[in-house]
Amino acid sequence: MSAPRPSAYLANAVRSGGRSAVEVLEESLAAIDAGDGEVHAFNLVMADEARAQAVAVDRTVANGEDPGPLAGVPVALKDNLCTRGVPTTCSSRILEGWRPPYDATVVTRLQRAGAVVVGKTNMDEFAMGSSTETSAFGPTRNPHHTGRVPGGSSGGSAAAVAAGFVPLALGSDTGGSIRQPAALCGVVGMKPTYGTVSRYGLVAFASSLDQIGPFAATVADAALLFDVIGGHDPADSTSLNRPTPRVLSVLDDGVAGLTVGVLAELLDGADPDVVARVRQAADALAAAGARVEEASVPEVVLGLSAYYLIAPGEASSNLARYDGVRYGLRRDAEDTVAMNTATRSAGFGAEVKRRIMLGTYVLSAGYMDAYYNQALRVRTRIIEGFDTAYRRCDVLLGPTAPTTAFALGAKTGDPLSMYLSDVCTIPSNLAGHPAISVPFGPGDDGLPVGVQLLGPSLSEGTLFKVAAVVEAAAPTLAPPRLSQEVRA
Amino acid sequence: MKPGWEMVVGLEVHCELKTATKLFCGCPNVFGDQPNTNVCPVCLGLPGSLPVINQRAVELAMAIGTALHCEIRPSTFHRKNYFYPDQAKDYQISQYDEPINVNGHLELPDGTVVGIERAHMEEDTGKTTHAGASGRIHGADYSLVDYNRSGVPLVEIVSRPDMRTSAQARAYASELRAVLVASGASDGKMEEGSMRVDANVSVRRSPDDPFGTRCEIKNLNSVRSLGRAIEYEADRQIDLLESGELVVQQTRHWDEDAGRTQTLRSKEDAYDYRYFLEPDLVPLVPDAEWIRAVADTMAPMPAVRRARLVELMGEEGQARGAVVDQVATVVDLGLDPLVVAAAASGVAPGLALARTANEAANDAEAARRLDVESYVALLSLEADGSLTATQSKAVLAEMLAHGGEPAAIAAAKGFEAMSEDSLVSAVADTISAFPDEWARFCEGDERVGGALIGKVMHATHGQADGKAVRAELARRRG
């Protein structure tokens, strides 16, 4: 059985002239118009720019040329990806009025592949959060249950795909910000190996952890999008200058002969219904010919603590440039320092301020060795722990998040409980490894559960083919109520 | 400086590298353009932009390391975090605990060896102009920032505290400047800020005492300012210590007009820069082949060039006191290739050195553009007596001003060498006109010979060759 690939069908229909890109786009815009008032997946819908792009795609087809593998496919971008001349806000007041003079590398690659960018999606402010509730523009709601969060920080992109507004979206993942909302919204989300997708034009949160990745309704569509955005970019010094795994071609290869380790530490603390789904996915992989065993990487329990020292440390430096001098918000005051202070006080939300203060503290003279440098040592140990596990296993399996989608407001007063939402996803970021979240039926509350596959660096090919088998075995998940209404 | 005290000086020199583009982006590295025209997302620190290292800047940094006899090592970049409007990202990308060049030295013309602790790479900031009466930030009506300089590649060269007088510090700055220019890394223009010097100064009573508390002096815009500021600062510290007070470690600003240093900030309010490894860049690991390739393409350093000229002068030349100064001038101005070429063509090295150091040096920029063969031809004309020294200098002035071939210029000026007949008759005329002098000369008064030569030169408007006149006079005296 071949994995379902609606975006690929769509692109092929446009490429062959069977459907027009303009018509496909108008369906997407109509769906957004009908449903986004309730979901608030988008900060900005770029209807005019998108129509111009769609017209250009159709013209290319009419001229007998090939617009590319994503011809006419509507794609949503997380609002921390720079788009030339179009506001890029990171869901923060501090970037008010700023229009980047350049496109992120991934945006250029999407356009070269014929994709149509329809808008910028809501997110936790500067990607700091796990529920999209720290956005300065209000939260995004989960299309499966609008009283629940979509996860975060790429909650807008996850919700846009889940709601059927767009078939594809890009997010960024620093500690789970693609995979966790993908799990909570019942879509596929993938974080690539650090360095396989260019960060040029991604507004930085924590540079050594950030990575752009795809959202899609299916594993095959995520693979298609990953193949388009991956590959070396000389504008990003951390971009790997070696062949990026091509994943689309290996998608149907199956799991026979592969060893899958069920990662014990990720099961600890997860809700029983979530654990049950992970076990069920493991059984499905065994049934498909994989060798399934129990695995342990004891060091990963240290991941959350190390992450909350390293990521804020880098963020405190990355966010220093929002000082009111060159762009974005400025609150005037009697001198430069007062202006900096007034601007940053007014422009940043509480969670961003919390992390800037934490990060500034852990890098300060006298504290750096005890906190930041200690966290770097932990990071090295986590990498070594994974290395040991990957000597036995090709991939590791666990939950993506410990719970299904929680209620709006449930954790906003308790940062530590919010931080725990990322406990299963953070280790891959610290290691620089790829990981993918695949929807695997509903939990006891009827809301989506995601299972996560983790692999060593550049194991994307293996991850995607295992993910395709998991997807094929997944219990049925009721489509989001919203997207049913939109389709009706 | 007061007797009974010794000053200890170390210098930190920032040098802008002469690359076509900036350190982390493709913007032009040009001084003096319209403000904010050589900028892009990277050097403006726009959100989402990322740095990519300029390979040519790395090569020039390695050239500096090679010229200063440093160990060239694998290196990393850190972020130095502080808020300032001309700091586009509010952090500076700089090398910190793993610099590219370490443990070198620079030998000064007088033989003093100054240790080089490190020579590391970093990016320059933009430039802030404060509008208002003072020109400084306090009391300014508003400030303007030009980011053209933001991201310009710098190498910071940190000496060891090996200098003991302001003269040594000045000599170090001059010699370092010459080395930076010779290595091709920098144009060394202090007035345009492409070379900036900070001095660390402390004093102690005896070379056996531990170092005293030091102060760092900034805003030294010339080698002369450097010397003045160090002298002032050492005296200030001595006065404090002699009156029983302590020197407080601080950064001080040199006020050129007032001729004194003033507190800028003390150690207590020093920034906490929160250095950490720059995650947007990867380590720089130059292999041996690359380091060798850089060294192989480098021109010889000033010390080597000076030694070559001194050797050319021979034992007799070296004995002349003026030679050391002339050699230093010629090498400093980059005119030594003229001397070397002339000597190779058989011109007396002493003549070539003197003409170059005394006359060509008057317009060094034009002299560096001189066609070497034409210059050698001029000196040959002088050496073989076709032109007198006076004529040769006049022809050279013309060549420097407008170019051209020496023979043609000499002809145009009527500087044809005098025929032997004309010279003989000019000498005869002079003897007739000054019989008393001639008589005294014939009696052996050699001093009057010089006067007679002068009379001939005057009568021939300098066209006669002095040596030939002297020979003719001697012949007639018998």
Same domain, A235 and A107: yes
- Under the banding of pLDDT at 50, 70 and 90, the label for residue B107 is very high
CA distance A399 to chain B (A): 29
Check if the beta carbon of residue A126 is closer than 8 Å to that of residue A107: no
Q: What is the pLDDT along chain A (488 residues), one digit of tens a residue?
A: 467 888 999 999 999 999 999 999 999 999 999 999 999 999 999 999 999 999 999 999 999 999 999 999 999 999 999 999 999 999 999 999 999 999 999 999 999 999 999 999 999 999 999 999 999 999 999 999 999 999 999 999 999 999 999 999 999 999 999 999 999 999 999 999 999 999 999 999 999 999 999 999 999 999 999 999 999 999 999 999 988 778 888 898 999 999 999 999 999 989 999 999 999 999 999 999 999 999 999 999 999 999 999 999 999 999 999 999 999 999 999 888 999 999 999 999 999 999 999 999 999 999 999 999 999 999 999 999 999 999 999 999 999 999 999 999 999 999 888 999 999 999 999 999 999 999 999 999 999 999 999 999 999 999 999 999 999 999 999 988 765 544 43
Residue A1 lies in a domain: no
Cα–Cα distance between A242 and A230 in angstroms, integer?
Answer: 11
* pLDDT at residue B138, as a whole number: 67
Cα–Cα distance between A182 and B338 in angstroms, integer?
Answer: 74
**CATH placement of domain B420-477:** 1.10.10
Instruction: Count other C-beta atoms under 10 Å from residue A113's C-beta.
Output: 20
Q: List phi, psi (to 5°) of A435.
A: -160, 150
Q: How many domains does chain A have?
A: 2
Residue A123 lies in a domain: yes
Cα–Cα distance between B146 and A325 in angstroms, integer?
Answer: 12
**Contact state of A326 with B282 under an 8 Å Cβ cutoff:** no
* pLDDT at residue A147, as a whole number: 95
Type of residue numbered B253: H
pLDDT digits (tens, 9 = 90+) for B467-477: 788 888 888 88
Q: Which residues contact B408 (CB under 8 A, 6 or more apart)?
A: none
Average pLDDT, chain B: 91
**E strand map for A179-244:** 188-191, 212-216
Of the candidates A203, A340, A364, which has its C-beta nearest B48's C-beta?
A203
Check if the beta carbon of residue B232 is closer than 8 Å to that of residue B260: yes
- Residues spanned by the domain of A367: 302-376
CA distance A449 to chain B (A): 33
* Chain B residues lying within 8 Å of A320, measured CB to CB: 81, 83, 89-91
Specify whether A483 is catalytic. Answer: no
A–B interface: beta-carbon pairs under 8 A: 97
Enter the pTM of the model: 0.89
Inter-helix orientation angle A303-318/A374-392, to 10°: 130
- Under the banding of pLDDT at 50, 70 and 90, the label for residue B136 is low
Length of chain B: 478
Cα–Cα distance between A415 and A197 in angstroms, integer?
Answer: 30
Same domain, A266 and A367: no
Residue A41 lies in a domain: yes
Same domain, A170 and A309: no
Specify whether A131 is catalytic. Answer: no
- Six-digit token string for B320: 């002349």
Residue A219's nearest CA partner among A464, A422, A478, A485 is A464
3-state secondary structure of B297: coil
Residue A324 DSSP one-character state: S
Mean pLDDT of all residues in B385-396:
88
Specify whether A153 is catalytic. Answer: yes
Burial of A25 (0-12, 13-18, 19+ CB in 10 A): buried
- What does the domain layout of chain B look like in residue ranges? 6-296, 302-412, 420-477
- The distance between the two most distant Cα atoms of chain A, rounded to a whole number of Å, is 70
What's A275's domain CATH number? Answer: 3.90.1300.10
* Chain B residues lying within 8 Å of A323, measured CB to CB: 83, 85, 90
Same domain, A317 and A243: no
CA distance A322 to chain B (A): 8
Length of chain A: 488
* Chain A residues lying within 8 Å of B52, measured CB to CB: 234-237
Place of tokens 């983790």: A454
Q: Which of A356, A376, A396 is the last residue in one of the domains?
A: A376
Of the candidates B50, B79, B85, which has its C-beta nearest A325's C-beta?
B85
Dihedral Cα B185, B190, B192, B198, nearest 10 deg: 100
**E strand map for A168-285:** 168-172, 188-191, 212-216, 259-263
Residue A309 lies in a domain: yes
**E strand map for A80-164:** 116-121
* pLDDT at residue A488, as a whole number: 37
Q: List phi, psi (to 5°) of B93.
A: -85, 120
Q: Which of A334, A353, A376 is the last residue in one of the domains?
A: A376
**Contact state of B83 with A337 under an 8 Å Cβ cutoff:** yes
Same domain, A125 and A236: yes
Residue A370 DSSP one-character state: I
Q: Which of A346, A376, A406 is the last residue in one of the domains?
A: A376
State the Cα angle at B432 between B428 and B434, rounded to 5°: 115
* Chain A residues lying within 8 Å of B145, measured CB to CB: 325
pLDDT digits (tens, 9 = 90+) for B191-209: 888 899 999 999 999 999 9
Considering the candidates A28, A78, A411, A457, report the single residue annotated as catalytic. A78
Same domain, A32 and A148: yes
* pLDDT at residue B111, as a whole number: 86
- Under the banding of pLDDT at 50, 70 and 90, the label for residue B383 is confident
Same domain, A278 and A394: yes
Residue A271 lies in a domain: yes
Same domain, A388 and A307: no
Residue B182 region, left (φ>0) first, then alpha (ψ -120 to 50), else beta?
A: alpha
Q: For residue B352, give Cα distances in angstroms to B45, B242, B311.
A: 53, 53, 14
**Contact state of A321 with B88 under an 8 Å Cβ cutoff:** yes
* pLDDT at residue A477, as a whole number: 93
Instruction: Count other C-beta atoms under 10 Å from residue B251's C-beta.
Output: 18
Same domain, A165 and A260: yes
Considering the candidates A135, A177, A428, A483, report the single residue annotated as catalytic. A177
Q: For residue A351, give Cα distances in angstroms to A29, A133, A413, A418.
A: 32, 10, 11, 11
Q: Any chain B CB within 8 A of the CB of A262? A: no
**Contact state of B52 with A235 under an 8 Å Cβ cutoff:** yes
Instruction: Count other C-beta atoms under 10 Å from residue B458's C-beta.
Output: 11
Partners of B145 in the β-ladder: B128
* pLDDT at residue A483, as a whole number: 54
Mean pLDDT of all residues in B154-160:
98
Cα–Cα distance between A107 and A80 in angstroms, integer?
Answer: 12
* Chain A residues lying within 8 Å of B47, measured CB to CB: 82, 88, 90, 95, 98, 100, 203-204, 321
Q: Any chain A CB within 8 A of the CB of B89? A: yes
What are the strands of the beta sheet with A212-216, ordered from one edge? A42-45, A116-121, A74-78, A168-172, A212-216, A188-191, A435-442, A448-454, A395-399, A259-263, A291-295
Same domain, A46 and A168: yes
**β-strand B250-255 against B260-266: which pairing, if any?**
antiparallel
Is the model more confident about B374 or about B465? Answer: B374
Same domain, A278 and A350: no
* Chain A residues lying within 8 Å of B44, measured CB to CB: 326
Of the candidates A321, A337, A340, which has its C-beta nearest B89's C-beta?
A321
Verify cis geometry, omega within 30 degrees of 0, for the bond prior to A237. Answer: no
Question: Which of A457-479 are b and which e, b meaning 16 or more Cβ less than 10 Å from the residue's Cβ?
Answer: bbbbbbbbbbbbbbbebbeebee
Residue A405 is inside which H or E element, if any? none
Same domain, A306 and A437: no
Residue % of chain B over a pLDDT of 70: 97
Cα–Cα distance between A216 and A411 in angstroms, integer?
Answer: 27
